[in-house]
Structure 1
Amino acid sequence: MTVRLDRPEEPAAVLAHIPEGADVIVPLMLGEPVGLLDALEEHAAELRGVRIHRMDPYLRRRYIDGAFPGRLNHVDYFLGSGSRQAFWDGNCDLVPNHFSEMPLLLRKSTRCTIALAAASPPDRHGYFSLGTNADYTAAFIGEIPFFLEVNERMPRTFGHNQLHLSQVAGWCRTDRPLFEVPPAVPDERDRRIAALIAERIQDGACLQVGVGRIPNALLASLTGHRDLGLHTEALSDGVLDLVESGALTGTRKLQQRNKHVATFCLGTKRLFDWLDNNTAVTMEPVDWVNDPRVVAKEPNFVSINATSEVDLMGQAASETIAGRYWSSSGGQSDFARGAMYSPGGKAFLVLHSATRGGASRINVQLTPGSVVTTLKNTVDHVVTEYGVAELRGRSLSQRAQALIRIAHPEHRDRLTADARQAGLLH
């Protein structure tokens, strides 16, 4: 079959590039090529032994729910809204990983047959951009074939997420609005946590900030700072206000100076419009952005991520809720380790002291079935609305005392008794 690379094809043309037993790599979140995956599902009867590898799918799909066993199957690396129920129902696999190691894992454990990805229209030089994404997919540019779904709404971004017309196996065109993720609205607890962290961030620090209510509150509280830098996995709407306030410039960074670095983006149309042709933003593959060795090179690196529960030794479970899998490790440990070795670096794990039902999120042991995401030896600071527990270099008894002090007041006496019984307090 002759592919005309100078003009788009129909989405079904991708089938010619999906042999039996193919391992297909698809970006996370907004990088999903919706029309190409529609075509694979519509022609699933013609496929055999095809596996799609991706993280954090946003849209729930038939193939993810196990509608085409043995023909088109999903392998997940971070559960999202599109795959969580499928995993609970036993219809897809979940592979544990550090986000930074995704390209390495895919190279070692799959055939890496082809990548299917959303992209911006080619520029006058014939270059496509993966737009809101670089993630693990961009690491394969130049290594494996790409079939692109060009979306007129996809912002053009810069960095190592671009590929030339001559590097693609084929492409199709669509004009589909990108799905939006509105910023989560912080509550009073979130704002108290944000204030505790903000006062510990110095001017010129380089930030990695997760996504959610507490990160949004933190970004809003940093507008009075100066010369902050950004080196993060997820870039969201909260960054815009920080840039517009003049607080986020990147002038003191040692790597990608004056640039806002990320590996994927999610947010609203406001963010997409800001990203389009914005040369201040650099999208880089995750095996560089999240590499702890790269992170450690930035002085005063500050990492802020959420966790769901912490035990009194400092172990953090961030991918399970009440002992049930909810997501995966992501880049939390990557950045915690990088910040640990950064000169002047700090890492913060944030959580509310109690659940909506009043149960403590700090306990002598993690909930049965929960898994440790960030090791006790790596956890630096734990923050609730009641304060900051500094754990690095502290003994087990000191850790227990510090964590009990920031637990919800209604649970402190019980936690103290539990800690004595467990031998953590004497």
Structure 2
Amino acid sequence: MEKRLNIEDIIGLIEKEADIIIPIANGEPHYLLDILEVNHTKLHEVKIHQMLALRERDYITGKMKGHLSHISYFLSGATRKAYQEGKIELVPNVFHEVPRMLQEITNLSLIMSVASPMDEHGYFSLGTQADYVSEFIGHVPFVLEVNKHMPRTYGGNQIHISQIAGYVENDKPLSEEKSPLIGEKDLQIAEFVTNRIENGDSLQIGIGAIPNAVMGMLKDHRHLGIHTEMLTDGIVDLVKAGAVDGTKKFTHKGKIVATFAFGSQRLYDFIHENPAVEFLPVSMVNDPREIAKEERIVSINATTEVDLYGQCASETVGGRYYSSTGGQADFARGARFAKHGKGFICMHSTVKNDTISRIKLQLTPGSVVTTSKNDVDNIVTEYGIASLYGKSLAERANALIGIAHPAFREELLYDAKRNGIIY
């Protein structure tokens, strides 16, 4: 079954006002997008829908208006400036609902994705991805960019040659995410969190210095499970240390479950043909009802600031949009639903050399709430853990003031009393 496409074939597949869906991160097909840009004058009002774009492009910066434009569901370094300049649109969402949202607000014209080479049975693998596109395998036309560097992985991300409109080939090394430096504050926060993690717990853990520090401290734990939206290098270290085997999980026992992976080549080598790793659609992995089935789920995420009610603004910085909600709200809710779930939202207590407190009476004007006061469980800084669930507003304020930087505690207490939060 020959389905190799040339440039004319690809452009011929795209109708006027088409909605093209592109996966997250390394699912982004560079060569196919190059073709669309070079031939953009042949396109009419075509929209690209994507989370976490990797590369800044002319259609993102508004240079192909009327032909090709970008709709973002999570900002990245490639799209942040364009959004702030009004060149692209940003659609609010929670990650697990993105497939349903795309089904309802787009015409699902075409999905373009990177894939591993076809196996002897006629199946490609979406590799580092399942995310919001695997939901549509068999229902929406796919054009694949086959790349020998994309690892072959398992789960809900297998697509047969009979299910695609065609493919091109482009062997390009995957983008890698460098591990950030871990500082003293990160280590202190990580120690507070790891002291609350028990053998047999299942982890959802993101990327960054604090998550990396947490994973570095868990190597002596045993029977940990992984149920996370994003796989990172730290999970490889936990598996190799014998800390992760998934035997105590309540769902997908023995399996490492994720919806996408982003890290170094070491991570990509680890997931290649690894039957212990399953990539499943985000509508499954991030659904709070599914998360809650992991009765001992531990969710670890980050935020930029918290007010004295416990509201977490995690997608804006200084009142301006920086990213989006992603999966934080999904896992905060899922951890609350779970029988023995625990949620941790972590941050340094200050920014700009201890001159600005991240714990505030009120969020910075323009900031938006990512995790609500009703879903938040524990807030962690380098000064300790404030356990907020089930606490009154006054108790919450006192707990948060207790983990603020000492230089700001008196002022925060004064403001809380003046505003009637603490009497």
**Above 0.5 in TM-score?**
yes
Paired residue for 1:329, among 321, 325, 328?
325
Structure 1 pair 382/13, CA: closer, same or farther in 2 (3 Å)?
A: same
Matches within 5 A, 1:72-221: 72-221=68-217
Matches within 5 A, 1:292-371: 292-357=288-353, 358-371=355-368
Unpaired runs of 5+ in structure 2?
A: none
Moved more, 8-17 or 373-382: 8-17
The superposition leaves residues 21-55 of structure 1 with CA deviations (integer Å, 9 ceiling, x where unpaired) of 10000001110000000000000000001000000
Classify the secondary structure of the residue corresponding to 2:192: helix
Classify the secondary structure of the residue corresponding to 1:9: coil
CA contact (8 A) 2:349 2:382 kept: yes
- Report the Cα distance in structure 2 between the residues aligned to 1:41 and 1:7, rounded to whole angstroms: 22
The superposition leaves residues 184-210 of structure 1 with CA deviations (integer Å, 9 ceiling, x where unpaired) of 121110011011000101110010001
User: Aligned partner of 2:56: which letter?
Assistant: R
Paired residue for 2:402, among 392, 397, 405?
405
- Report the Cα distance in structure 1 between the residues aligned to 2:2 and 2:155, rounded to whole angstroms: 24
- Report the Cα distance in structure 1 between the residues aligned to 2:352 and 2:8, rounded to whole angstroms: 47
CA contact (8 A) 1:98 1:330 kept: yes
- Report the Cα distance in structure 2 between the residues aligned to 1:210 and 1:274, rounded to whole angstroms: 18
The superposition leaves residues 158-215 of structure 1 with CA deviations (integer Å, 9 ceiling, x where unpaired) of 0000110000000001111111111112111001101100010111001000111100
Q: Please report how far the alpha carbon of residue 307 of structure 1 lies from its aligned counterpart in structure 2 after TM superposition.
A: 0.4
Please tell me whether residue 381 in structure 1 is matched to residue 378 in structure 2: yes
Q: Please report how far the alpha carbon of residue 9 of structure 1 lies from its aligned counterpart in structure 2 after TM superposition.
A: 2.7
User: Aligned partner of 1:69: which letter?
Assistant: K
- Report the Cα distance in structure 2 between the residues aligned to 1:367 and 1:80, rounded to whole angstroms: 21
User: Aligned partner of 1:157: which letter?
Assistant: T
Classify the secondary structure of the residue corresponding to 1:217: helix
The superposition leaves residues 78-111 of structure 1 with CA deviations (integer Å, 9 ceiling, x where unpaired) of 0011100110111000000000000010001010
- Report the Cα distance in structure 1 between the residues aligned to 2:183 and 2:6, rounded to whole angstroms: 47
Paired residue for 2:279, among 250, 272, 283?
283
User: Aligned partner of 2:64: which letter?
Assistant: F
- Report the Cα distance in structure 2 between the residues aligned to 1:11 and 1:99, rounded to whole angstroms: 33
Residue in structure 2 matched with residue 23 of structure 1 by the alignment: 19
- Report the Cα distance in structure 2 between the residues aligned to 1:272 and 1:356, rounded to whole angstroms: 35
Residue in structure 1 matched with residue 224 of structure 2 by the alignment: 228
- Report the Cα distance in structure 1 between the residues aligned to 2:386 and 2:87, rounded to whole angstroms: 40
User: Aligned partner of 2:308: which letter?
Assistant: L
- Report the Cα distance in structure 2 between the residues aligned to 1:375 and 1:150, rounded to whole angstroms: 41
Classify the secondary structure of the residue corresponding to 2:364: coil
User: Aligned partner of 1:154: which letter?
Assistant: M
User: Aligned partner of 2:247: which letter?
Assistant: T
CA contact (8 A) 1:134 1:286 kept: yes
Identical columns (%): 50
Classify the secondary structure of the residue corresponding to 1:108: helix
Moved more, 96-105 or 176-185: 176-185
Structure 1 pair 24/7, CA: closer, same or farther in 2 (3 Å)?
A: closer
The superposition leaves residues 141-165 of structure 1 with CA deviations (integer Å, 9 ceiling, x where unpaired) of 1110000000010000000001100
Please tell me whether residue 239 in structure 1 is matched to residue 235 in structure 2: yes
Structure 1 pair 409/11, CA: closer, same or farther in 2 (3 Å)?
A: farther
Structure 1 pair 12/267, CA: closer, same or farther in 2 (3 Å)?
A: farther
Q: Please report how far the alpha carbon of residue 13 of structure 1 lies from its aligned counterpart in structure 2 after TM superposition.
A: 2.9
Classify the secondary structure of the residue corresponding to 1:77: strand
Classify the secondary structure of the residue corresponding to 1:277: coil
TM-score by length of 2: 0.99
CA contact (8 A) 1:12 1:36 kept: no
User: Aligned partner of 1:190: which letter?
Assistant: D
Paired residue for 1:267, among 250, 257, 263?
263
**Stretches of 4+ moved more than 2 A in 1?**
5-13
Residue in structure 2 matched with residue 68 of structure 1 by the alignment: 64
- Report the Cα distance in structure 2 between the residues aligned to 1:394 and 1:55, rounded to whole angstroms: 35
- State the number of aligned residues: 422
- Report the Cα distance in structure 1 between the residues aligned to 2:192 and 2:153, rounded to whole angstroms: 34
- Report the Cα distance in structure 2 between the residues aligned to 1:196 and 1:76, rounded to whole angstroms: 35
- Report the Cα distance in structure 2 between the residues aligned to 1:394 and 1:217, rounded to whole angstroms: 29
Q: Please report how far the alpha carbon of residue 287 of structure 1 lies from its aligned counterpart in structure 2 after TM superposition.
A: 0.4
Classify the secondary structure of the residue corresponding to 1:52: strand
- Report the Cα distance in structure 1 between the residues aligned to 2:43 and 2:94, rounded to whole angstroms: 31
Q: Please report how far the alpha carbon of residue 12 of structure 1 lies from its aligned counterpart in structure 2 after TM superposition.
A: 5.1
Q: Please report how far the alpha carbon of residue 360 of structure 1 lies from its aligned counterpart in structure 2 after TM superposition.
A: 0.2
CA contact (8 A) 2:70 2:88 kept: yes
Q: Indicate the RMSD between aligned Cα atoms, in angstroms.
A: 0.8
CA contact (8 A) 1:231 1:262 kept: yes
Residue in structure 2 matched with residue 420 of structure 1 by the alignment: 417
Classify the secondary structure of the residue corresponding to 1:194: helix
Classify the secondary structure of the residue corresponding to 2:145: strand
Q: Please report how far the alpha carbon of residue 256 of structure 1 lies from its aligned counterpart in structure 2 after TM superposition.
A: 0.9
Q: Please report how far the alpha carbon of residue 8 of structure 1 lies from its aligned counterpart in structure 2 after TM superposition.
A: 2.7
